[in-house]
């Protein structure tokens, strides 16, 4: 079994961390509907209950020892507002009922989460977290060197999608996974060290699709669509592959 195994049909994976198994998701974006209303004038009914039920169903399906969120647990940048607080409190209550703790690797939207909920969840450093042979990062900043020593690094932030076209020119966007080896040179340049000085095990990078269905994404196979992370795409091998949620292997992501 791979160290990080996607759950078929879901934007989630189970990570084998050695002493425990983690259910891993990225970009939950609690309270996104309030954000869309404020940012874009878009009125949508809250999908908070559905998001919580989906995550709880995945817990029942995979029986994890903990849930790890790869950043952007909340949508609003800064202190969570009332809508986000209600949604997060209901989620934490549901996980408490299952005795499943939540660990957050903070993303660029999570500035106030530690202060608001630090007594109810574990908040890692922004440079990432390592559990066994698995590293966890959001991806909006350069990861800590210790995380890069892991065999597999999981990240969110990008919300990867692929644009698929049919024979008559119709198209649709589908959530996708990206998996490929990380290149050492960009990290050595960033840290100002020689590549051989890094404890480098040629880690695999797994870029998670967004858990939230309303958060949009980057079409990684479309020219002109740029990555958000400071180390992508330069640090990702050119033969990194894309996969659909159902496990369909699409091949090298740039040639899909």
141-185 tens-digit pLDDT:
999 999 999 999 999 999 999 988 776 666 788 999 999 999 999
Tens-digit pLDDT profile for residues 66-79: 999 999 998 875 55
Residue 249 DSSP SS3: strand
Q: What is the CA radius of gyration of the chain?
A: 18
Mean local confidence (pLDDT), 180-201: 92
pTM above 0.85, yes or no: yes
**Sign of torsion, CA 180 181 186 191?**
positive
Mean pLDDT of the chain: 90
If one counts the domains in the chain, the total is: 1
80 has a pLDDT exceeding 70 = no
In this structure, what CATH number is given to the domain that contains residue 69?
3.30.750.24
Give residue 132's pLDDT band: very low, low, confident or very high (50, 70, 90). very high
**Under 8 Å CB-to-CB from 115, ≥6 apart: which residues?**
79
pLDDT value for 1: 42
Structural domain boundaries, residue 175: 4-255
| Strands (DSSP E) found in 17-151 | 21-25, 66-69, 102-104, 122-123, 129-131, 134-137
Closest by CA position to 28, among listed 51, 7, 6: 51
Residues 92-116 pLDDT 10s: 999 999 999 999 999 987 778 878 8
The number of beta carbons lying within 10 Å of the beta carbon of residue 190 is 14
Query: Where does 147-240 show beta strands of DSSP type E?
Result: 152-155, 160-165, 171-181, 204-207, 218-219
Using CA atoms, how far apart are residues 30 and 183, in angstroms rounded to an integer? 33
* Nearest C-alpha neighbor of 214 from the set 89, 27, 16: 27
Q: Could you give the percent of the chain with pLDDT greater than 90?
A: 66
Work out whether strand 241-244 and strand 171-181 pair parallel, antiparallel, or are unpaired: antiparallel
Are 67 and 101 in contact by the 8 Å Cβ rule? The answer is yes
pLDDT digits (tens, 9 = 90+) for 17-50: 999 999 999 999 998 887 666 666 667 788 899 9
Is residue 4 within a helix (H) or strand (E), and if so which, with residue range? strand 4-6
């Amino acid at each position: 079994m791979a160290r990080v195994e996607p759950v078929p049909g879901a934007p989630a994976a189970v990570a084998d961390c050695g002493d425990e198994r983690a259910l891993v998701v990225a970009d939950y974006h609690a309270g996104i509907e309030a954000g869309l209303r404020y940012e874009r004038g878009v009125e949508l009914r809250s999908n908070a209950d559905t998001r919580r039920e989906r995550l709880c169903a995945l817990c029942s399906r995979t029986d994890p020892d903990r849930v790890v969120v790869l950043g952007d647990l909340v949508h609003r940048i800064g202190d969570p507002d009332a809508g986000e607080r209600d949604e997060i409190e209901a989620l934490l209550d549901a996980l408490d009922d299952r005795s499943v703790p939540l660990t957050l690797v903070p993303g660029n939207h999570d500035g106030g989460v530690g202060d608001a909920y630090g007594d109810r969840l574990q908040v890692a450093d922004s440079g990432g977290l390592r559990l066994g042979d698995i590293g966890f990062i959001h991806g909006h900043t350069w990861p800590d060197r210790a995380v890069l020593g892991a065999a597999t690094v999981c990240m969110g932030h990008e919300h990867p999608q692929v644009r698929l076209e049919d024979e008559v020119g119709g198209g649709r966007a589908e959530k996708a996974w990206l998996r490929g080896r990380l290149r050492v040179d960009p990290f050595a340049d960033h840290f100002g060290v020689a590549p051989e000085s890094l404890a480098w095990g040629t880690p695999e990078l797994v870029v998670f699709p967004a858990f939230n269905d309303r958060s949009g994404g980057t079409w990684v196979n479309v020219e002109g669509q740029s990555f958000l992370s400071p180390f992508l795409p330069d640090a990702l091998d050119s033969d990194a592959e894309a996969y659909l949620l159902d496990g369909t292997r699409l091949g090298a992501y740039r040639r899909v």
